[in-house]
C-alpha cells in the first residue's frame, strides 16, 4: 500500500520500484493463490470440526460432560492454535516465496538497486530489524529479512 508517509520518504524511482514489486504480486496471481489456499485450509478445518463434533472422545478428553455444537466450536478454536502451530513455518515460507517472486518481477521492470534502497527505508520506518534471528524469522516472518532480499536483488541486478 502507498501511504502518504511512504510517498514522502521515497524518491520517485524508489516508488516506481515498490509499485513494480506490488504489480509483481498481481502478475504472479499471489492474491488469488492465497485466497484459494485459505479457502482450502478453511474447508479442511471445517471438516475436522464436523468430525470432532461427533466424537465423544473430543469432549471427554477436554473434561466436558454435556456436548453441544456451540461448545464444540469454542473448544475447537481453543485447541486449534496448538495443532496448527506447525503450519506457521509453511505459511511463512509460502509468503516469503511470493515476496521473492515479486522482487524478481520488480527487478525485471525497474532497477533492482532502487527497490533495495526503498526496502532499507521501509524496514527502518517500520522499526524492523535488518538482521532478525534466523529461526524466529523462518517460523514467523511473512517477509524475508532485508539483507536476504537485498542480496537476492543484487544477484538479479548482476544477471
* Catalytic sites, residue numbers: 22
DSSP letter (8 states) at residue 29: T
In the numeric block, which cell numbers belong to residue 86? 506447525
Q: For residue 42, what are the CA distances in angstroms to 29, 39, 48, 50, 80?
A: 20, 5, 10, 12, 12
Total count of residues recorded for the chain: 159
**Cβ atoms < 10 Å from Cβ of 9:** 15
For 34, the grid coordinates are 492465497
d(CA 119, CA 108): 16
Report phi then psi at 46, rounded to 5: -65, -40
Amino acid at each position: 500500500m502507498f501511504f502518504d508517509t511512504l510517498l514522502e520518504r521515497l524518491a520517485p524511482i524508489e516508488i516506481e520500484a515498490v509499485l513494480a514489486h506490488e504489480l509483481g504480486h498481481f502478475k504472479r496471481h499471489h492474491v488469488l493463490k492465497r485466497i484459494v489456499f485459505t479457502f482450502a485450509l478453511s474447508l479442511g478445518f471445517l471438516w475436522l470440526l464436523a468430525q470432532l463434533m461427533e466424537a465423544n472422545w473430543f469432549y471427554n478428553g477436554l473434561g466436558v460432560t454435556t456436548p453441544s455444537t456451540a461448545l464444540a466450536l469454542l473448544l475447537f478454536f481453543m485447541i486449534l492454535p496448538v495443532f496448527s502451530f506447525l503450519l506457521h513455518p509453511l505459511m511463512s515460507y509460502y509468503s516469503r516465496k511470493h515476496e521473492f517472486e515479486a522482487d524478481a518481477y520488480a527487478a525485471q521492470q525497474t532497477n533492482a538497486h532502487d527497490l533495495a534502497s526503498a526496502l532499507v527505508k521501509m524496514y527502518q520506518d517500520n522499526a524492523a530489524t535488518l538482521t532478525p534471528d534466523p529461526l524466529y524469522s523462518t517460523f514467523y516472518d511473512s517477509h524475508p529479512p532485508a539483507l536476504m532480499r537485498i542480496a537476492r536483488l543484487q544477484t538479479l541486478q548482476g544477471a
